[in-house]
Amino acid sequence: MKSIKKYIYITVGLISVVLGAIGVILPILPTTPFLLLASYCFAKGSDKFNNWFINTKLYKKHLESFVKERAMTLREKICLLAFADFMLAFPLIILDSIFMKCFIVVLILFKFYYFIFRIKTITKEEKELMKFKKEV
């Protein structure tokens, strides 16, 4: 059973990396949420894939500052929040239960609180400076 879970995590991680890479090219598709999902899946599924992923340029450019500094650019925050809101809109519209709708609204509010007050907003230049300092 553990090996099946491991392969599922690795598969979802690989799909997420591909979607995140496509998101780098197509601004319509957000990059950060897919790379966060990939990072989570690889950490759960395989040390080998996790080590490979954290050493890719894709990870270093889009996730490393968030993981290490708990900081994101405003553009990254907006893309991530918009994507999450888009995904949460479906159950909000489809579900009939007022309790579930209230739960989703509270979840959306918490998400905004967390991104606004708990994750530092940095400029693109500050992000580049952080990367430069780590390389030196």
Q: pLDDT for 83-96, tens place per residue?
A: 778 888 888 888 89
Q: Which of 7-16, 31-40, 56-65, 85-94 has the lowest mean pLDDT?
A: 56-65
pLDDT of residue 1: 64
Q: Average pLDDT of 11-27?
A: 86
If pLDDT is split at 50, 70 and 90, which confidence band does 114 have? Answer: confident
Domain boundaries, the chain: 1-62, 70-136
pLDDT for residue 20: 84
Angstrom distances, CA of residue 18 to CA of 9, 90, 134: 14, 24, 26
Task: State the pLDDT at residue 134.
Answer: 63
pLDDT at 108 over 80: yes
Residue 95: the pLDDT is 86
User: Which of 62, 111, 121, 66 lies closest to 85, judged by CA?
Assistant: 111
Q: Residue 16: count other Cβ atoms within 10 Å of its Cβ.
A: 21
What does pLDDT average to over the chain? 84
Rounded Cα–Cα distance for residues 129 and 135 (Å):
10
| Reported pTM | 0.62
